[in-house]
Chain A
Amino acid sequence: ETGVTQTPRHLVMGMTNKKSLKCEQHLGHNAMYWYKQSAKKPLELMFVYSLEERVENNSVPSRFSPECPNSSHLFLHLHTLQPEDSALYLCASSPTSGSSDEQFFGPGTRLTVL
Protein backbone atom coordinates (compact mmCIF):
# COMPACT_ATOMS: atom_id res chain seq x y z
CA GLU A 1 0.00 0.00 0.00
CA THR A 2 1.37 3.38 -0.93
CA GLY A 3 0.41 6.99 -0.32
CA VAL A 4 -2.31 7.95 2.14
CA THR A 5 -5.10 5.51 2.91
CA GLN A 6 -8.31 6.08 4.84
CA THR A 7 -10.82 3.67 6.32
CA PRO A 8 -13.69 3.30 6.17
CA ARG A 9 -14.50 4.94 2.86
CA HIS A 10 -18.15 5.35 3.81
CA LEU A 11 -19.74 5.55 7.23
CA VAL A 12 -23.33 6.00 8.34
CA MET A 13 -23.90 6.58 12.03
CA GLY A 14 -26.58 7.70 14.41
CA MET A 15 -26.18 10.68 16.67
CA THR A 16 -25.56 8.52 19.73
CA ASN A 17 -22.95 6.26 18.13
CA LYS A 18 -19.21 6.29 18.69
CA LYS A 19 -17.03 5.60 15.67
CA SER A 20 -13.47 6.24 14.56
CA LEU A 21 -11.92 7.21 11.26
CA LYS A 22 -8.47 5.90 10.47
CA CYS A 23 -5.74 7.36 8.31
CA GLU A 24 -2.40 5.81 7.47
CA GLN A 25 0.43 7.28 5.42
CA HIS A 26 3.25 5.28 3.87
CA LEU A 27 5.31 8.27 2.74
CA GLY A 28 7.56 8.75 5.74
CA HIS A 29 6.01 12.15 6.45
CA ASN A 30 6.10 13.82 9.85
CA ALA A 31 2.95 15.94 9.63
CA MET A 32 -0.64 14.77 9.32
CA TYR A 33 -3.90 16.69 8.97
CA TRP A 34 -7.65 16.25 9.19
CA TYR A 35 -9.85 18.31 6.88
CA LYS A 36 -13.62 18.52 6.55
CA GLN A 37 -15.24 19.12 3.17
CA SER A 38 -18.91 20.05 3.27
CA ALA A 39 -20.98 20.64 0.17
CA LYS A 40 -20.27 23.99 -1.49
CA LYS A 41 -17.75 24.98 1.20
CA PRO A 42 -13.97 25.25 1.17
CA LEU A 43 -11.85 22.53 2.66
CA GLU A 44 -11.81 23.28 6.39
CA LEU A 45 -8.71 22.43 8.39
CA MET A 46 -9.60 20.64 11.63
CA PHE A 47 -6.38 19.38 13.19
CA VAL A 48 -2.66 19.33 12.50
CA TYR A 49 -0.14 16.94 14.02
CA SER A 50 3.58 17.32 13.68
CA LEU A 51 5.80 14.54 15.00
CA GLU A 52 2.77 13.12 16.81
CA GLU A 53 2.08 16.36 18.67
CA ARG A 54 -1.01 18.41 17.97
CA VAL A 55 0.13 21.81 16.69
CA GLU A 56 -3.17 23.24 15.57
CA ASN A 57 -6.81 22.84 16.47
CA ASN A 58 -9.13 25.03 14.46
CA SER A 59 -11.90 25.52 17.03
CA VAL A 60 -13.32 22.09 16.36
CA PRO A 61 -16.14 20.88 18.65
CA SER A 62 -15.11 18.38 21.30
CA ARG A 63 -17.31 15.69 19.73
CA PHE A 64 -14.37 15.29 17.33
CA SER A 65 -11.31 13.88 19.09
CA PRO A 66 -8.08 13.26 17.18
CA GLU A 67 -5.38 10.80 18.08
CA CYS A 68 -1.92 10.40 16.57
CA PRO A 69 -0.17 7.37 18.11
CA ASN A 70 2.78 7.61 15.70
CA SER A 71 3.81 9.58 12.64
CA SER A 72 2.20 7.07 10.27
CA HIS A 73 -1.26 6.85 11.84
CA LEU A 74 -3.97 9.36 12.58
CA PHE A 75 -7.41 8.73 13.99
CA LEU A 76 -10.51 10.86 14.34
CA HIS A 77 -12.81 9.64 17.10
CA LEU A 78 -16.44 10.64 16.67
CA HIS A 79 -18.99 10.87 19.47
CA THR A 80 -22.55 12.22 19.59
CA LEU A 81 -22.32 13.87 16.21
CA GLN A 82 -24.97 16.08 14.64
CA PRO A 83 -26.52 15.74 11.16
CA GLU A 84 -24.63 18.90 10.09
CA ASP A 85 -21.39 16.98 10.67
CA SER A 86 -22.18 14.91 7.60
CA ALA A 87 -19.35 15.61 5.17
CA LEU A 88 -16.28 14.20 3.47
CA TYR A 89 -13.41 13.89 5.95
CA LEU A 90 -10.01 14.04 4.33
CA CYS A 91 -6.69 13.09 5.83
CA ALA A 92 -3.46 14.53 4.46
CA SER A 93 0.24 14.32 5.19
CA SER A 94 3.32 16.35 4.33
CA PRO A 95 7.03 16.00 5.07
CA THR A 96 6.75 18.61 7.83
CA SER A 97 4.14 21.15 8.89
CA GLY A 98 6.42 24.10 8.38
CA SER A 99 7.85 23.64 4.92
CA SER A 100 6.75 24.62 1.46
CA ASP A 101 5.97 21.02 0.54
CA GLU A 102 2.56 20.20 -0.80
CA GLN A 103 0.18 17.94 1.06
CA PHE A 104 -0.76 14.46 -0.01
CA PHE A 105 -4.39 13.59 0.54
CA GLY A 106 -6.18 10.34 1.18
CA PRO A 107 -9.41 9.45 -0.65
CA GLY A 108 -11.58 10.55 2.25
CA THR A 109 -14.32 9.05 4.38
CA ARG A 110 -17.85 10.01 3.39
CA LEU A 111 -19.69 10.39 6.71
CA THR A 112 -23.46 10.54 7.04
CA VAL A 113 -24.97 11.29 10.44
CA LEU A 114 -28.63 10.34 10.78
Chain B
Amino acid sequence: DQQVKQNSPSLSVQEGRISILNCDYTNSMFDYFLWYKKYPAEGPTFLISISSIKDKNEDGRFTVFLNKSAKHLSLHIVPSQPGDSAVYFCAGRGTGGSYIPTFGRGTSLIVHP
Protein backbone atom coordinates (compact mmCIF):
# COMPACT_ATOMS: atom_id res chain seq x y z
CA ASP B 1 0.00 0.00 0.00
CA GLN B 2 1.50 3.30 -1.10
CA GLN B 3 1.34 5.74 1.78
CA VAL B 4 2.60 8.69 -0.25
CA LYS B 5 1.24 9.16 -3.75
CA GLN B 6 2.44 11.46 -6.47
CA ASN B 7 -0.05 10.71 -9.20
CA SER B 8 1.49 12.89 -11.89
CA PRO B 9 4.67 11.31 -13.19
CA SER B 10 5.56 14.42 -15.15
CA LEU B 11 4.74 18.11 -15.48
CA SER B 12 5.72 20.57 -18.19
CA VAL B 13 5.68 24.32 -17.53
CA GLN B 14 6.81 27.45 -19.34
CA GLU B 15 9.56 29.53 -17.78
CA GLY B 16 8.17 32.29 -15.59
CA ARG B 17 4.89 30.49 -14.91
CA ILE B 18 3.86 28.66 -11.76
CA SER B 19 4.64 24.98 -11.25
CA ILE B 20 2.34 23.06 -8.93
CA LEU B 21 3.36 19.59 -7.82
CA ASN B 22 0.84 17.55 -5.89
CA CYS B 23 1.16 14.86 -3.27
CA ASP B 24 -1.42 12.81 -1.38
CA TYR B 25 -0.87 10.66 1.67
CA THR B 26 -2.86 8.01 3.48
CA ASN B 27 -1.04 7.67 6.80
CA SER B 28 -2.77 9.89 9.36
CA MET B 29 0.24 9.44 11.67
CA PHE B 30 2.39 11.60 9.41
CA ASP B 31 3.11 14.92 11.08
CA TYR B 32 5.99 16.24 9.01
CA PHE B 33 6.38 16.45 5.26
CA LEU B 34 9.40 17.07 3.08
CA TRP B 35 10.11 17.79 -0.55
CA TYR B 36 13.32 16.65 -2.17
CA LYS B 37 14.67 17.60 -5.58
CA LYS B 38 16.76 15.26 -7.70
CA TYR B 39 18.84 16.08 -10.75
CA PRO B 40 20.03 13.26 -13.05
CA ALA B 41 23.19 11.53 -11.81
CA GLU B 42 22.83 13.16 -8.39
CA GLY B 43 21.18 12.12 -5.16
CA PRO B 44 18.02 13.84 -3.88
CA THR B 45 18.58 17.10 -2.01
CA PHE B 46 16.29 18.54 0.61
CA LEU B 47 14.19 21.44 -0.65
CA ILE B 48 11.52 22.46 1.85
CA SER B 49 9.45 20.95 4.64
CA ILE B 50 6.27 21.60 6.58
CA SER B 51 5.03 20.53 9.97
CA SER B 52 1.44 19.38 10.35
CA ILE B 53 0.75 22.27 12.71
CA LYS B 54 1.12 24.65 9.78
CA ASP B 55 -0.73 24.94 6.51
CA LYS B 56 1.89 26.89 4.59
CA ASN B 57 5.64 27.26 4.52
CA GLU B 58 7.46 29.58 2.16
CA ASP B 59 11.11 29.76 1.17
CA GLY B 60 11.88 32.12 -1.67
CA ARG B 61 10.25 30.88 -4.85
CA PHE B 62 9.10 27.67 -3.16
CA THR B 63 5.93 27.34 -1.09
CA VAL B 64 4.45 24.18 0.33
CA PHE B 65 0.78 24.02 1.25
CA LEU B 66 -0.70 21.37 3.53
CA ASN B 67 -4.38 20.43 3.70
CA LYS B 68 -4.60 17.95 6.56
CA SER B 69 -8.29 17.21 6.19
CA ALA B 70 -7.74 16.21 2.57
CA LYS B 71 -4.38 14.57 3.32
CA HIS B 72 -2.94 16.58 0.48
CA LEU B 73 0.07 18.79 0.04
CA SER B 74 1.40 20.74 -2.88
CA LEU B 75 4.64 22.45 -3.82
CA HIS B 76 4.38 25.72 -5.70
CA ILE B 77 7.34 27.13 -7.60
CA VAL B 78 6.94 30.65 -8.86
CA PRO B 79 8.35 31.88 -11.10
CA SER B 80 9.59 28.60 -12.57
CA GLN B 81 13.08 28.57 -14.05
CA PRO B 82 14.75 26.08 -16.42
CA GLY B 83 17.13 25.14 -13.59
CA ASP B 84 14.14 23.86 -11.64
CA SER B 85 13.82 20.98 -14.12
CA ALA B 86 14.30 17.90 -11.96
CA VAL B 87 12.42 15.08 -10.27
CA TYR B 88 10.61 16.18 -7.12
CA PHE B 89 9.92 13.68 -4.35
CA CYS B 90 7.35 14.17 -1.66
CA ALA B 91 7.89 12.40 1.68
CA GLY B 92 5.91 12.02 4.88
CA ARG B 93 7.20 11.20 8.32
CA GLY B 94 5.37 10.25 11.48
CA THR B 95 5.75 9.86 15.19
CA GLY B 96 4.65 6.27 15.26
CA GLY B 97 8.06 5.01 16.31
CA SER B 98 10.02 5.98 13.25
CA TYR B 99 11.20 9.33 11.98
CA ILE B 100 12.31 7.81 8.70
CA PRO B 101 10.42 9.35 5.79
CA THR B 102 8.23 7.45 3.36
CA PHE B 103 8.71 8.68 -0.20
CA GLY B 104 6.44 9.00 -3.20
CA ARG B 105 7.41 7.97 -6.74
CA GLY B 106 8.40 11.45 -7.75
CA THR B 107 7.20 13.93 -10.38
CA SER B 108 9.48 14.95 -13.22
CA LEU B 109 9.23 18.71 -13.79
CA ILE B 110 10.39 20.20 -17.08
CA VAL B 111 10.55 23.98 -17.32
CA HIS B 112 10.80 25.19 -20.91
CA PRO B 113 12.71 28.40 -21.69
Contacts and interface: CB of A to CB of B under 8 A. Distances in A.
Interface of A: 4, 6, 9, 33, 40-43, 45, 48, 56, 90-92, 97-100, 102-108
Nearest to B51: A100
A29 to B, nearest CB: 13
**How many interface residues does chain B have, given as a range?**
20 to 34
Contacts of A43: 44, 89, 103
B101 to A, nearest CB: 7
B101 A42 contact: no
Contact of A104 (B2, B4, B46): B46
A104 B105 CA distance: 18
A92 B89 CA distance: 15
A104 B44 CA distance: 8
A99 B99 contact: yes
A35 B34 CA distance: 17
Interface of B: 2, 4, 9, 32, 34, 36, 41-46, 49, 89, 93, 98-106
Chain A binding site: helix, strand, loop or mixed by DSSP? loop
B105 A102 contact: no
A31 to B, nearest CB: 9
- Of A33, A43, A107, most buried by chain B (CB within 10 Å of CB) is A43
Top 9 nearest A-B pairs (CB, nearest first) are A105-B43, A102-B46, A43-B103, A42-B103, A105-B44, A42-B105, A107-B43, A106-B43, A98-B99
Given A100-B32, A107-B42, 16 more contacts: A40-B9, A40-B105, A42-B2, A42-B105, A43-B44, A45-B100, A91-B43, A92-B43, A97-B99, A97-B100, A100-B93, A103-B101, A104-B46, A105-B44, A105-B45, A107-B43
A48 B103 contact: no
B92 to A, nearest CB: 11
Nearest to B47: A102
A112 B103 CA distance: 23
Contacts of B42: 107-108
